[in-house]
A = this chain, B = another copy of it.
Amino acid sequence: MARRFRDRFRRRGGRGASSLVVRGNRGVDELVSDILTRHDSTTRRELAAVVADEYLAADDEARRAFLDKLARKFWTSREDVDTAAKQLASAGDDLTARTAAEQQLRAALTPPATELLHIFTGLDDGVKLLVDLRADLLRLADDDPALRALDAELQAHLATLFDVGLLELRQITWDSPASLLERLIEYEAVHAIDSWADLKNRLDSDRRCYAFFHPAMPSEPLVFVEIALTAGVATELQSLLDESAPDLDPERADTAVFYSISSCQPGLAGVNLGTALIKEVVERLRRDLSNVRTFVTLSPIPGFRPWVDEQLRTGQLSDRERDLLPAEPARVLARLDDADWGADESIGPALTALCARFLTTSLGGRALDPVANFHLSNGAALDRVTWGADSSPTGRARSVGLMANYLYEPNRIAERAEAYAKHGTITTSDVVKDLLA
Q: Is A1 close to B, CB under 8 A?
A: no
Query: A165 and B126: CB pair below 8 A?
Result: yes
A122 lies within 8 A of chain B by Cβ: yes
CB of A63 to closest CB in B, whole Å = 21
When chains A and B are docked, how far (Å) is the Cα of A19 from the Cα of B161?
A: 31
Q: A16-B413, A176-B177 are in contact. Are A146 and B95 (CB under 8 A)?
A: yes
Which stretch (A96-104, A319-327, A328-336) binds chain B?
A96-104
Contact B160 A161, beta carbon cutoff 8 Å: yes
Contact with B along A123-138 (1 / 0, CB 8 A): 1101100000000000
Cβ–Cβ < 8 Å partners of A76 in chain B:
102
Partner of A95, one of B89, B145, B272: B145
Q: With both chains docked as a complex, state the minimum distance between the C-beta of A99 and any C-beta of chain B, in angstroms.
A: 5
In the complex this chain forms, how many copies of it are found? 4
| A121/B166 in contact, CB under 8 A | yes
How far in angstroms is the closest Cβ of chain B from A11? Answer: 7
Which residue of B82, B123, B379 contacts A165 across the interface (Cβ within 8 Å)? B123
Closest Cβ neighbor of A148 among chain B residues: B99
State the A residues within 8 Å of B (CB): 10-17, 19-20, 38-43, 46, 76, 78, 81-82, 85, 88-89, 95-96, 98-99, 102-103, 105-106, 109-110, 118, 121-124, 126-127, 145-146, 148-149, 152, 157, 160-161, 163-166, 168, 174-182, 196, 200, 215-216, 219, 272, 275-276, 279-280, 282-283, 287, 377-379, 410-415, 417-418, 421-422
Q: Which 8 A-B pairs have the closest CB atoms?
A: A39-B421, A40-B417, A215-B215, A122-B165, A17-B414, A106-B109, A96-B145, A16-B411
- Selected A-B contacts with CB under 8 Å, 6 pairs: A14-B379, A39-B422, A40-B418, A103-B152, A160-B161, A215-B215
Sample of 5 more A-B contacts, CB < 8 Å, known A99-B145, A178-B178: A19-B411, A39-B418, A39-B421, A40-B379, A41-B272
